[in-house]
Amino acid sequence: MSTKKVVIIYSGGMDSYTVLHLAKHEGYEVHAVSFNYGQRHSKELLYAEKVTRKFNIPHKIVDISSINQLIAGSSLTSNIDVPQGHYEEASMKQTVVPNRNMILLSLAVGYAVSIKAEAVYFGAHSGDHAIYPDCRTEFVSTMNEVCKIANYEAVEVRAPFLKSDKIEILARGLALNLDYNDTWTCYNGREKACGKCGACQERLEAFAGNNMTDPLEYE
Amino acid sequence: MSTKKVVIIYSGGMDSYTVLHLAKHEGYEVHAVSFNYGQRHSKELLYAEKVTRKFNIPHKIVDISSINQLIAGSSLTSNIDVPQGHYEEASMKQTVVPNRNMILLSLAVGYAVSIKAEAVYFGAHSGDHAIYPDCRTEFVSTMNEVCKIANYEAVEVRAPFLKSDKIEILARGLALNLDYNDTWTCYNGREKACGKCGACQERLEAFAGNNMTDPLEYE
């Protein structure tokens, strides 16, 4: 019997990196897809490329930055300053890209249908629930309903860390012996991670929560 | 009070042309969006451009042809011959683009969130139910569930002709005095419509069903 295929939405960050390896560990033939949607920098995508090459995982990087004609206003895709400090509602709402996950999932599901993959994995987690409506349990379960019927082939949307926080995701990855030097998290795309933006702070907290030191270099 | 905004997915064909005018007739401020997803020809898009200019409707044409790296195999986006003759299951399945409507709707909903539009209109109709799973009632109602919760702002997905056939859509448009010379339907992009592909045949049947002659020139 041939190995079953799945598609992973892989940003190059630590969550989707862990999801990628989890699906691989579960025995799936993993197909990674990364989206360039006009992020302020493409450093995460370089990490994604490096990792998929290292593990010989088929990888597509799809440039969908033309959609910025339609969706505007997030500090992740425009020139608004990236908020510093910990995730807080007022400032972190600036990082919301309208309908981001529905867009990325719909493309990944199209890919899954094309290559006859049974599921799409993505790295939504409980830490994002407060700010991002499209990382919540109801969103994922309703997307699953629609992805069952949108094509002749049902595709399952799986978010294995939907109820886990970053500390738990990292714990799972460390238990799989994953090397987090292969991941990029910082919202700024400089040589070293800034250590100050909300994304860096969450990452550092995840390592602290696991009594570990992040192998990544910081400014 | 300012006029309420809606987004219309506008291909340049007769269904979305009728939907566009219906929403306009209902008093909405209409924002049209067309997608270039690597269709075999862009003749429909030229018609869409002409119409939106004529009626002074804001119009975005978004090139998402990069997604063809992910979704392949439809005769509408590749070099497979377009099937001739009437829509029939075996041959018309070749015209299915994987997850097409979820992709287009998710982008249009992102646009709606960005410009604070209350709804996205699209031209799904009952004639497509047999072949295209993403034109069916359950698909639209489930998409509505997910579009309520995917963003801070709920966006409604409206398919006003979901239960109508082409004859009824055309009847509605003729009652609004619409000029169907402003629409393009043929799957082939030659100077005149072929009159032979499934799309042309359906169009011609719609006119016959309304005891009218299509104003468009045929080969």
Domain assignments of chain A as residue spans, ordered by start: 5-184
pLDDT of residue A91: 59
Q: pTM of the entire structure?
A: 0.91
Cα distance between residue B170 and residue B175, in whole Å: 8
Tokens linked to B146: 């997910």
Residue pair A122/A115 in contact by the 8 Å Cβ criterion? no
How close A173 comes to chain B (CA, Å)?
Answer: 28
| Spatial distance between the Cα atoms of A78 and A84, rounded to a whole number of angstroms | 16
Write out pLDDT tens, residues B117-131. 999 999 999 988 788
Q: Does A103 touch chain B (CB under 8 A)?
A: yes
pLDDT of residue A97: 85
**Contact (CB<8Å) B146/A150:** no
Residue B91 known to bind ligand: no
A5-184 CATH choice from 3.90.550.10, 3.60.21.10, 3.40.50.620, 3.30.390.50: 3.40.50.620
Q: What percent of chain B has pLDDT over 90?
A: 77
CA B102 to chain centroid, in Å, comes to 13
Handedness of CA B18, B23, B25, B31 (dihedral sign): negative
Whole-angstrom distance, CA of residue A104 vs CA of residue A126: 19
Pick the residue from chain B with its C-alpha nearest to A101: B150
pLDDT for the residue numbered A3: 83
CATH number of this structure's domain B5-209? 3.40.50.620
Chain B contact probe: residue of A97, A139, A146, A147 with most B CBs at under 10 A: A146
Instruction: Give me the mean pLDDT over the B110-121 stretch.
Output: 96
Are the C-beta atoms of residues B117 and B5 closer than 8 Å to each other? Answer: yes
ipTM of the complex: 0.90
Cβ-based neighbour number of residue B151 at 10 Å = 24
- Provide the token pair at B105: 């709707």
Whether the CB of A119 is below 8 Å from some CB of chain B: the reply is no
